[in-house]
Amino acid sequence: MKSDSAGNTGLNPSRLPAHVAVIMDGNGRWAQKRMLNRIKGHEKGADTVRAVVRASREIGIDFLTLYAFSTENWQRPKMEVSALMTLLKRFLESEQQEMAENNIRLRVIGQADRLPKDVQDALARVMEATGRNDGMCLSLALSYGARAEIVEAAQSLARQVKNGDIQPDEISDELFSGHLYTAGMPDPELLIRTSGEFRISNFLLWKIAYAELFVTPTLWPDFTREEFIGILKDFQNRERRFGRVSAS
């Protein structure tokens, strides 16, 4: 059963984006502004993740995809990478029960095999525990890069052509989409980026073709449920034309 509490928020439940994707940026700057170690910013950022996951579930969003760790993030100082992995593991352990109880299914997109073994094990446990849930799909983009995702899809299709399983002409939008990490998910209708940078940063390049973009100057640790609802309201007021002319 999906919740239908969008009404309490002033949102129109019939015009919610089915899939919201978020580039969570600004943890480091949040910490620097307070003369704190960057890791403190990530810790506070993890609290925001909890709040946004809860809010999305309550509002009735079907798919929420969070950019938690990019392939480029491996190049950060070892200490910071290790702190992010620890935070991720802690998040999975602390949220497993809540996800199970709230009908949230966890999915990972990215090169999960590059993650430390203990994080992979924690992910496998939560995915196993939540695999049959159908209330909201929470996807964590981990060791994720959209170009690598597209290249892997191309390689997989090229192998099928080489084996004679498909003809090159059979490769369509749908078939290609089905070979991405995001196979089976609707395209994100709304992409939010925090901390004021107008960049896509190699996130979901194929899937965001028609997404509405929303950039907020708020740093991710300061992002709130209220601001999230405000962005969803803004989305509901936008006219989406998909390259066509206005209906009126």
Instruction: Tell me which stretch binds ligand FPP (CB under 6 A): 80-88, 121-129, 207-215, 239-247.
Output: 80-88
Among 18, 29, 176, 205, binds ligand FPP (CB under 6 A): 29
Which residue in the list 37, 62, 73, 222 is annotated as catalytic?
A: 73
Residue 91 within binding range of ligand FPP, rule CB under 6 A:
yes
**Residues 188 and 21 sit within 8 Å (Cβ to Cβ):** yes
Instruction: Report CA torsion sign: 33, 73, 96, 50.
Output: positive
**Shortest Å distance, C-beta 165 to ligand FPP:** 37
**Shortest Å distance, C-beta 105 to ligand FPP:** 15
Site string for ligand FPP, 185-204 (x = CB under 6 A): ----------x---------
- DSSP-derived letter for residue 67 is E
Residue 140 within binding range of ligand FPP, rule CB under 6 A:
yes
Sheet of strand 104-109, all strands in order from the earlier edge strand to the far edge = 104-109, 136-144, 63-70, 19-23, 190-193, 212-215
Total residues contacting ligand FPP (rule CB under 6 A)? 20
Phi and psi dihedrals of 157, rounded to 5?
-70, -40
Q: Among this protein's residues, is 187 annotated catalytic?
A: no
Locate tokens 């620097």: which residue? 32
Buried b or exposed e, range 16-32, using 16+ CB within 10 angstroms: bbebbbbbbbbbbbbbe
Residue 28 within binding range of ligand FPP, rule CB under 6 A:
yes
- Output 240-248 pairs: Cβ under 8 A, ≥24 positions apart: 240/189, 240/210, 240/212, 242/210
Residue 88 within binding range of ligand FPP, rule CB under 6 A:
yes
**Residues 188 and 204 sit within 8 Å (Cβ to Cβ):** yes
Whichever of 25 and 189 has its CB closer to ligand FPP, that residue is 25
Among 6, 11, 21, 46, binds ligand FPP (CB under 6 A): 46
Q: Among this protein's residues, is 73 annotated catalytic?
A: yes
Residue 145 within binding range of ligand FPP, rule CB under 6 A:
no
Contacts to ligand FPP by CB under 6 A: 24-29, 42, 45-46, 49, 68-69, 73, 84, 87-88, 91, 140, 195, 220
